[in-house]
Amino acid sequence: MSFFIRLIENTDSQRRELELVPKVDRMIHKGLPKEEYVTFLSDLYHIVWHFCPVMAAAAARCGDDYQQVRYHLYENIEEEKGHDQWVLDDLRAMGADPEQVKRRAPCAAVQAFIGFNYYSPEHVHAASVVGMLYSLEVISSVYGGRVATSIARGLGMEPGAGFAFLQSHASMDQDHMAKLNQLIKTIVDPVVQEAIINVTNVNFYLLKQFMSA
């Protein structure tokens, strides 16, 4: 069994538990009131802001035995730069003040999510960051487009301004998943594989807490 298949089999139950969260179910099928959507984007902004710094910190710790992981992170950083601004643009389109969002601390679950993803590459293994990439890109590719369409429809809007981040990542992260699949196949150390599985499961768990807040 390839590690990619094992990663899916060992983490998919946690991912599917997200769908059982009432807010997630509403986001997918009925949308959200504008105020709730703004709150969601406000917390999401902090996850997106830290995405590149977490990858950079992990890349700096990847030795030559994990050169392919390091180069994958470099490529991802280039592609993801500035996406936090997309979230702020969506917030502005929804009538929120981006500067206020930047100053306000996110909810506790998001703070825990961010802190854990800095901790794991530093104290467990640098390549464990792959678990963060996998969990976020699975969620974006599976749910991003559906959520954007559902919320826009519920608000009587077109899924354009105000939904750019979710819409763009729905298609973008499908390509990222294909590249990540190839990268994951190069990781053969069972200890590192278990670290990636653990990080993926913890990420899904913390995202569930975030969506349950």
Listed residue (184, 133, 175) closest to 2, CA to CA: 184
The full 3-state SS of 132-197, as one line of letters, equals HHHHHHHHHHHHHHHHHHHHHHHCCCCCCCCCHHHHHHHHHHHHHHHHHHHHHCCCCCHHHHHHHH
Mean pLDDT by 10 residues, the chain (213 residues): 94 95 96 97 98 98 97 96 96 97 97 98 98 94 91 90 86 75 95 98 98 92
pTM above 0.75, yes or no: yes
Structural domains in the chain plus CATH codes? 3-212 (1.20.910.10)
Listed residue (3, 12, 9) closest to 135, CA to CA: 12
